[in-house]
Chain A
Amino acid sequence: DAKTTQPPSMDCAEGRAANLPCNHSTISGNEYVYWYRQIHSQGPQYIIHGLKNNETNEMASLIITEDRKSSTLILPHATLRDTAVYYCIVSSWGDNYGQNFVFGPGTRLSVLP
């Protein structure tokens, strides 16, 4: 069963921020939120992950709501090369890590010139 819900597609203008939402209302206390993206049919690429606090790295920012039931991935200045399918995944850490990495259909982001 899918543990996350994402819109099937979104458009974003080049140079603008892309905000990709994800609902994970049944997330458990020990589960992290991960974001990956897949460009064409390449192997998925890790973007960012977080547990409770907001996170930022060189690629993106992750905003997790206080109740942890939803999150938003922010690409601050989208470029054409950010056009991809973005996957939101929840998974526990520790011994079970990797067992339940479920990639749903994701959100197809199209960055428009």
Chain B
Amino acid sequence: DADVTQTPRNRITKTGKRIMLECSQTKGHDRMYWYRQDPGLGLRLIYYSFDVKDINKGEISDGYSVSRQAQAKFSLSLESAIPNQTALYFCATSIRGPDEQFFGPGTRLTVL
């Protein structure tokens, strides 16, 4: 079983719709992250959470919100989706130290 799972894996929606992307992890990590990747580019940090009571904006948080429901769950919401939010979205987890981030398989979101 995967340690970091994302649902849905693919989603097509229309402009103006509210969308929620979910991330769950079984690694027991406190820190969770949401990234966005546009074609041909690297990943950009949207939001991150260092524990259940902690939420922080990343580089490109406008148009997004997050919820950390539990240590294992971190959701990303697009309140009113727009076409330029069409992208590949990744969730990741880590411990506090300098070790690696573990990434989920990604959610491909298309906003028409």
Enumerate chain A interface residues (CB-CB to B < 8 A): 32, 34, 41-46, 49, 51, 87, 93-95, 97-99, 101-106
Residue on B nearest A49 in the bound complex, by CB: B98
From B61-69, B70-78, B101-109, the one touching the partner chain is B101-109
Partner of B90 from A32, A43, A106 at Cβ < 8 Å:
A43
A44, B103: Cβ atoms under 8 Å? yes
B88, A41: Cβ atoms under 8 Å? yes
Partner of A46 from B31, B42, B101 at Cβ < 8 Å:
B101
Partner of A106 from B42, B92, B99 at Cβ < 8 Å:
B42
Q: How many residues of B contact A (CB 8 A)?
A: 32
Q: How far is the CA of A106 from the CA of B37 in the complex (A)?
A: 13
For the complex formed, measure the closest distance between the CB of A78 and the CB atoms of chain B, giving whole angstroms. 21
Q: How far is the CA of A39 from the CA of B31 in the complex (A)?
A: 24
B97, A93: Cβ atoms under 8 Å? yes
Given contact pairs A43-B106, A98-B48, A103-B44, A49 touches B100 in the complex (Cβ within 8 A): yes
Residue on B nearest A32 in the bound complex, by CB: B98
For the complex formed, measure the closest distance between the CB of A108 and the CB atoms of chain B, giving whole angstroms. 10
